[in-house]
């Protein structure tokens, strides 16, 4: 069985909880899985369920940051309202002794881990099917008035052809958003500059995932200068520069990564085109 996140990473800040420590009443650390800028993720044991689960908590130095806590609680409430085959399930949200989100255990690996560790690029048919599943998620979220806004390989777990989307911590309704909302390499131009976030913003996210899944490279890099964004300075390169793909696939990814959101395909148009390719 492959854990869904890579445990071999350099951690910054205070150390995470150790094996055997209590995360919250009834939840004990099995192992630390991952640390992001704001949250630690643990493989945990649930006394109530007599089974493993995933526990997501603020990093130790952010436990008392009210904004981070509210963000985690909000994500938990949102996930508990959502029921979709390709979205991770939330079991419960706890507020004491630290904000904690309890999620189902996923036994696959992140798309990021697959891209980084496999010797050969992912089969194009599998990439296309992944795109169809992401379109299904986006269609469902948009029907409920929610944008994901952080679709990227590390937020997708795949197992035996089934994808699950993680991390709705910055999900929100359509409207004007703050500059720099999202992850540098994957945010749409309107996220980078600050502007109107709409369904087309998630179309960009799907395009970025398809680009990296097909090429093993993200469509854009990150500058050391946090005020500069490659996606505001150039267009994405064609997928065909990295590998031989059908022109229809190359054109479709390019359309998703169109700087002007009004020129990107809709989620349903993207799904139909990917289904025709598959």
Q: Where are the domains of the chain?
A: 22-103, 109-277
- Among 45-59, 215-229, 259-273, the range scoring the smallest mean pLDDT is 215-229
Two tokens at 159? 């197992």
Q: Please, are residues 215 and 251 in contact by the beta-carbon 8 Å criterion?
A: no
| % of the chain residues with pLDDT over 90 | 86
Which uninterrupted H or E stretch holds 92?
strand 90-94
pLDDT in tens, 211-231: 999 999 999 998 877 788 999
Q: Please, are residues 125 and 245 in contact by the beta-carbon 8 Å criterion?
A: no
Q: Would the pLDDT of 8 be above 50?
A: no
82: pLDDT confidence band, cut at 50, 70 and 90? very high
Two tokens at 188? 């749409």
Q: Which residues pair with 87 in a beta bridge?
A: 165
Amino acid 263: pLDDT: 98
How far apart, in whole angstroms, are the C-alpha atoms of residue 80 and residue 85?
A: 13
Two tokens at 36? 């992001």
| % of the chain residues with pLDDT over 70 | 96
Q: Would the pLDDT of 2 be above 90?
A: no
How far apart, in whole angstroms, are the C-alpha atoms of residue 203 and residue 205?
A: 5
Q: Would the pLDDT of 9 be above 50?
A: no
Amino acid 6: pLDDT: 36
4: pLDDT confidence band, cut at 50, 70 and 90? very low
Amino acid 11: pLDDT: 60
Q: Would the pLDDT of 10 be above 60?
A: no
Instruction: Tell which CATH classification among 3.10.580.10, 1.10.510.10, 1.10.10.60, 1.20.120.10 matches the domain 109-277.
Output: 1.10.510.10
Domains 22-103 and 109-277 share a fold: no
Q: What is the mean pLDDT of the chain?
A: 92
Amino acid 5: pLDDT: 36
Mean pLDDT within 143-152: 97
Q: Which residues pair with 103 in a beta bridge?
A: 54, 90
Which uninterrupted H or E stretch holds 250?
helix 247-256
Domain 22-103 in this protein, CATH class: alpha beta
Question: pTM higher than 0.85, yes or no?
Answer: yes
Q: Please, are residues 81 and 158 in contact by the beta-carbon 8 Å criterion?
A: no
- Among 27-36, 140-149, 260-269, the range scoring the smallest mean pLDDT is 27-36
Q: Would the pLDDT of 269 be above 50?
A: yes
Which backbone phi and psi does 35 adopt, to 5 degrees?
-130, 130
How far apart, in whole angstroms, are the C-alpha atoms of residue 136 and residue 268?
A: 9
């Amino acid at each position: 069985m492959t854990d869904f996140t890579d445990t071999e990473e350099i951690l910054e800040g205070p150390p995470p909880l150790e094996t055997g420590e209590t995360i919250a009443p009834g939840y004990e650390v099995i192992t630390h899985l991952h640390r992001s800028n704001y949250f630690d993720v643990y493989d945990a044991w649930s006394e109530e369920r007599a089974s493993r689960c995933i526990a997501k908590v603020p990093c130790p130095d952010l436990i008392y940051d009210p904004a981070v806590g509210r963000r985690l609680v909000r994500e938990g409430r949102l996930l508990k309202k959502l029921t979709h085959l390709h979205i991770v399930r939330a079991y419960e949200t706890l507020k004491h002794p630290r904000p904690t989100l309890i999620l189902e255990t996923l036994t696959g690996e992140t798309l990021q881990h697959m891209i980084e560790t496999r010797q050969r690029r992912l089969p194009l048919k599998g990439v296309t099917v992944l795109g169809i599943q992401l379109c299904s998620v986006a269609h469902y979220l948009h029907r409920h008035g929610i944008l994901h806004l952080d679709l990227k390989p590390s937020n997708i777990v795949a197992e035996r052809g089934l994808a699950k989307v993680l991390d709705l911590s910055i999900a929100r309704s359509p409207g004007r958003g703050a500059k720099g909302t999202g992850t540098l390499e994957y945010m749409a131009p309107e996220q980078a500059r600050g502007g109107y976030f709409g369904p087309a913003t998630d179309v960009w996210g799907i395009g970025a995932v398809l680009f990296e899944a097909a090429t093993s490279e993200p469509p854009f890099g990150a500058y050391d200068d946090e005020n500069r964004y490659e996606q505001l300075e150039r267009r994405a390169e064609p997928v065909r520069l990295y590998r031989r793909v059908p022109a229809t696939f190359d054109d479709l990814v390019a359309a998703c990564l169109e700087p002007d959101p009004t020129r990107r395909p809709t989620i349903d148009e993207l799904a139909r085109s990917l289904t025709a390719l598959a």
